[in-house]
Structure 1
Amino acid sequence: ANDLAIMVLIIIFLYINSLMITTFFMKEFFYRTMRYILFTSALMADCLYLVVTNILMIFTYFKIYMQMWLCLIIVITSVLLNVITPVTLTVMTLERYVAICMPLQHGQLCSTQRALYCILVIHGVSFIPCLIMILAVFVTVNVSLYREDVICSVEKMTIAIWQSHLRSGVSQFYFLVMFIVVVFSYIKIMRVAQAATVENKKASKKGLQTVLLHAFQLLLCLIQFWCPTLETALLQISVILYINVRYFNYIAFSLTPRCLSPLIYGLRDKEFFEVLRFYASWGLHKRKITYVS
């Protein structure tokens, strides 16, 4: 029943995201604006992450075995896609900081070309934990084990205790850096909001709300990095407790933060929402949009 409920949630989420991604490509304004480019990049990563993790869940449920080398590739892919989301959220927070605190430089610093460079940097930074995991597995695992049949999961990549400590250390470092960036951006935007004129207070207030929502998303995403350690400890106590906690962690710290992205930029963003509503209703709702960068 739990598996079925999660699969239904994933299907709904993928449908909403696919609709938003389609909306992004329908208007030139969106794919020439940095915040929408980063938003759509995050949506794509989220969709792929949920597809990969859902496949792993199905394989685990039906006890489908695969060779260790294939499992390693799938796990590394899921880890990469998982890290991309919080890193992208951090960059999106910085984009809001530049837009509100440095409006004159926003057009130059947040151009389309720079957005593409940012995506490359995001993927490069997100791959570092994957590279560390790959090296840790290569150092620990005997070559003959790569052809062993296993039920694939992240835990299969953790052979020694020091690997868990290493992964935890990397996660804490990422958490610290992202936390500093978000707090810095929030403080700067708050100061601008306090000193803003009446007409600019609305934009500043909305920017503060966006940063706070990103901070909440980041918190949920980053808590997920500690979930494997907790789940491994619970497995030693009770298998049933381990399964129940794992389902809760997946819904709370994997699905929930990814469901917030459509809320932040799909529903709260007036320009994007108007176009989304037009295409979602097959053109029944006429749109009246004034694009503001």
Structure 2
Amino acid sequence: MQNLTELPVNATSQTSLSVIIKVCIVIPFFCAFLCCIGVMLHIFASHRQFLDTSRYILFAYMLINDTLQILSSVLLFLFVMGQVKLVLVCCVPLLLISTATFQNTLLILATMSLERYVAIFYPLQRPAAWRSDRIWIIILSLWLLSCTYPIIEFAIGELDPAVDALSTPVSCKVTVVNSSAVQMLFKAAFYVLMFTLVAVVILFTYVRILMETRKMRQNRASVSKAMHTVLLHGFQLLLCLLAFTHPITETLIVLHANWLPEDIAFFNYFCFILIPRFLSPLIYGFRDQNLRDYIGK
């Protein structure tokens, strides 16, 4: 009888320790990310030359977008770890922000590649929308496009009749509101289309700039730098793709290790969602010579 009563206590204590360890791993990463992003945004706000360049404005926009994405992601993670349940009217906005900002990252990568293409091929006759004083039009368009997908995805879903959006607490997970077969099919088709279009844009701009590098005899250094920047956007796209590797990693872990489902889910979240999102803007920011000089100061 004594052994039977001790088993649940031991299991509960192990679960609590596991939750504490996971939270203690995620929170320092999140704080370090916020510090780095805060430094770069402070540099942008303090030096006018960055705000007069379309490329830096788009990069600052990407920093803000990734901060919102990680903030919403970490909040959802903490709610799950703490077993906090929310009503749908509070949960859906968080899920919408997390999903929309993820889509927005892909659109920003394609836009930044196109900006380099425009800067190389139309240096003196740049289209009005790509000028620094009009770039907000493109940024607003990206936000509208990225918000359209999650709104449609939530709209075509079927809510459980037993769940009241205003009063029934639920675990704030994507599977709660996106569980129907129609939503899964729509999500798969949309992501395939999105990644394909962004990859085509990045590949097109890279090839065109590469061809221009071979033809130009003057200012080849600037064109070559733009080519490497576009290549970096391709690497950032691959980092985003890591978010969809969880079926493969789950299968490999199940075959070679005896992990609990919640430990597998945390491993995928930390390694393939949090870390790539943490590294992507930092790699781009520290690679830029101007930003690196100001960060050093």
Alignment partners' CA distance in 2, 1:124 and 1:149: 30
| Correspondences of 1:6-85 after superposition (within 5 Å) | 6-85=26-105
Change (3 A) 1:228 1:113: farther
Give the partner amino acid of 2:263.
I
1:142 CA displacement: 3.4
TM-score with structure 1 setting the length: 0.84
Q: Which amino acid aligns with 2:229?
A: T
Map 1:214-225 to 2 at 5 A: 214-224=233-243
Q: Counterpart of 1:240?
A: 260
Q: Is the 8 A contact 1:164 1:229 kept in 2?
A: no
Within the candidate set 169, 182, 202, 2:221 is matched to: 202
| Corresponding residue for residue 287 of structure 1 | none
Deviates more, 1:268-277 or 1:22-31: 268-277
Deviation at 1:228?
Answer: 7.0
Shift of the alpha carbon at 1:254? 3.9
Corresponding residue for 1:98? 118
Give the alignment's TM-score, normalised by structure 2.
0.83
| Closer, same or farther: CA 233–127 of 1 in aligned 2, 3 Å | farther
User: Aligned pair in 2 of structure 1 residues 273, 150: CA closer, same or farther (>3 Å)?
Assistant: same
Mind listing any 5+ residue stretches in structure 1 that lack a counterpart? 279-293
Distance 1:76 1:239, change over 3 A: farther
Question: Structure 2: where are the runs of 5+ without partners?
Answer: 1-20
State how far apart, in whole Å, the 1-side matches of 2:196 and 2:72 are: 27
- The residue type paired with residue 39 of structure 2 is L
Matches within 5 A, 1:153-232: 153-197=173-217, 199-224=218-243, 226=244
When residues 204 and 107 of structure 1 are mapped into structure 2, their CA distance, relative to the original with a 3 A threshold, is same
SS at match of 1:106: coil
Deviation at 1:241, TM superposition (A): 4.4
What stretches of structure 1 move > 6 A for 4+ residues in a row? 228-234, 236-239
Check the 8 A contact 1:101/1:188 in 2, yes or no.
Answer: no
8 A contact 2:154–2:178 mirrored in 1: no
1:229 shift after superposition: 6.7
Question: In structure 2, the residue corresponding to 1:29 is in which secondary structure?
Answer: helix
Contact 2:250 2:264 in 1 (8 A): no
> Shift of residue 204 of structure 1?
1.8
Whether the 8 Å contact between 2:86 and 2:170 is mirrored in structure 1 is yes
Figure out how many residues of one structure are paired with residues of the other and give that number: 274
Equivalent position of 2:12 in the other structure: none
Per-residue deviation, 1:268: 2.1
Checking the alignment, whether the CA contact within 8 Å between 1:52 and 1:74 is kept in structure 2 is yes
Cα pair distance change 1:134/1:241, threshold 3 Å = closer
Identity within the alignment, %: 23
| TM-align CA RMSD | 2.6
Deviation digits for residues 27-86 of structure 1 (CA, Å, limit 9, x no counterpart):
111112111111111101111211111111111111111112221121111111221111
Partner amino acid, structure 2, of 1:276: I
> Cα deviations across residues 131-185 of structure 1 (Å, max 9, x unaligned)?
1122123x44438432321121112122312211111111111111111111110
Q: Is the 8 A contact 1:218 1:257 kept in 2?
A: no
Specify the alignment match of 1:3 in structure 2. Answer: 23
Distance in 2 (CA, whole Å) between partners of 1:131 and 1:255 is 27
Could you report, residue by residue, the CA deviation over 1:84-105 in whole angstroms, capped at 9, with x for unpaired residues? 1111111011101111233222
- 2:115/2:130 contact within 8 Å kept: yes
Larger Rg, first or second structure (1 or 2) = 2
What SS is found at the alignment partner of 2:83? coil
Q: 1:117, 1:232 → 2: CA distance?
A: 41
Q: Is 1:148 matched up with 2:177? A: no
Give yes or no for contact 1:136–1:163 (8 Å, CA) kept in 2: yes
- Work out the CA distance in 2 between the residues paired with 1:108 and 1:156: 44
CA distance in 1, matches of 2:121, 2:72: 38
Alpha-carbon offset, residue 227 of structure 1: 5.2
Contact 1:231–1:245 under 8 Å retained in 2:
no
